[in-house]
Amino acid sequence: MPSEDLKQVSFTELPRVAQVLADAFYEDPVARFVYPDDEGRVAWLTAAFEVQARLGLIYGRVYATDDYGGVAVWLTPSSGRLSLWSFIRAGGLRLLLRSSVDVLNRVRRLPGTAQKLHRQCVSQRHWYLLLLAVKPERQGQGIGTRLLQPVLKTADGDSVPCYLETANERTIAFYERHGFSICSEGDIAGGPHLWGMLRRSESASSAHTATPSTSSGHKARFESEQDRRQMDVLRKDGWPDHLPARSGPGRSRSAS
């Protein structure tokens, strides 16, 4: 057991996990973009998130609170970049078959942007937070924070970074509090804005003091010589040269 009220879920729990994800992401900009019809969105999202949670079980770890108040889906550093085969193995084909052409037309625009933002941020081995969700009525009670802890601790112990994408601007401050910084951003074609966020392991995290460089082209500024030295270390460790050490004024627009 990773923590008092957290557990790693099994395949039989996937439907419950998918339900939590669908409820939490109902208002998410990407969910609304892909499935604008309020009526059928929960059902479609439940099917889509069941595939993603299965990906997490096959290639990573899925945590939930004992009462399914929230879930976290991670891909392990050894999972690498997932292929089309990974998606099919997780039941993705069934999902595509039950999706309308319009939905598919929007879904197919997601991976390109997500992969681009991901590549811009990190090339070394890393944990990938695929999904983090807390039921709407349980949000703001510390569940999301607790769900992050097992993997953040492991990542720190192994000196491995963590990466995620979000389309919900409000979550940026939440992730910043847990050591993530914006490392890339961009729009899904005809759809919402996405932010890529990277968290270096604790051993290097005291370098969080530079202003960001984002798509708007600002140059990173360093507040001390120590910051500059730490950035040099990070760059040697795979942190791309053009990326910021932490987020800040570079956020360019609201994701609603």
User: Where does this chain bind ligand COA (CB under 6 A)?
Assistant: 24-25, 28, 132-134, 139-145, 164, 166, 168, 170-171, 173-174
Nearer to ligand COA, 68 or 174 (CB): 174
The answer to whether 100 and 135 have CB atoms below 8 angstroms apart is: no
Closest by CA to 237, choosing from 214, 212, 203, 208, is 203
Tell me, rounded to whole angstroms, the distance of Cα 248 from its chain centroid: 19
Strand order in the sheet with 70-75: 6-8, 60-65, 70-75, 127-134, 162-166, 193-199, 181-187
The nearest distance, CB 145 to ligand COA, in angstroms, is 3
DSSP three-state, residue 34: helix
The nearest distance, CB 101 to ligand COA, in angstroms, is 27
DSSP E strands in 27-69: the ranges are 60-65
The answer to whether 176 and 247 have CB atoms below 8 angstroms apart is: yes
CB closest to ligand COA, residue no: 144
Nearer to ligand COA, 33 or 222 (CB): 33
The nearest distance, CB 143 to ligand COA, in angstroms, is 4
The nearest distance, CB 148 to ligand COA, in angstroms, is 8
Is 189 exposed, middle or buried (CB count within 10 Å of its CB: 0-12, 13-18, 19+)?
Answer: exposed
Nearer to ligand COA, 226 or 256 (CB): 256
The answer to whether 68 and 118 have CB atoms below 8 angstroms apart is: no
DSSP E strands in the chain: the ranges are 6-8, 60-65, 70-75, 127-134, 162-166, 181-187, 193-199
Nearer to ligand COA, 151 or 164 (CB): 164
The nearest distance, CB 196 to ligand COA, in angstroms, is 11
Nearer to ligand COA, 61 or 204 (CB): 61
Looking up tokens 């399914």, which residue turns up?
68
The nearest distance, CB 229 to ligand COA, in angstroms, is 31
Closest by CA to 77, choosing from 238, 203, 212, is 238
Nearer to ligand COA, 164 or 245 (CB): 164
DSSP three-state, residue 51: helix
The nearest distance, CB 129 to ligand COA, in angstroms, is 7
Nearer to ligand COA, 21 or 234 (CB): 21
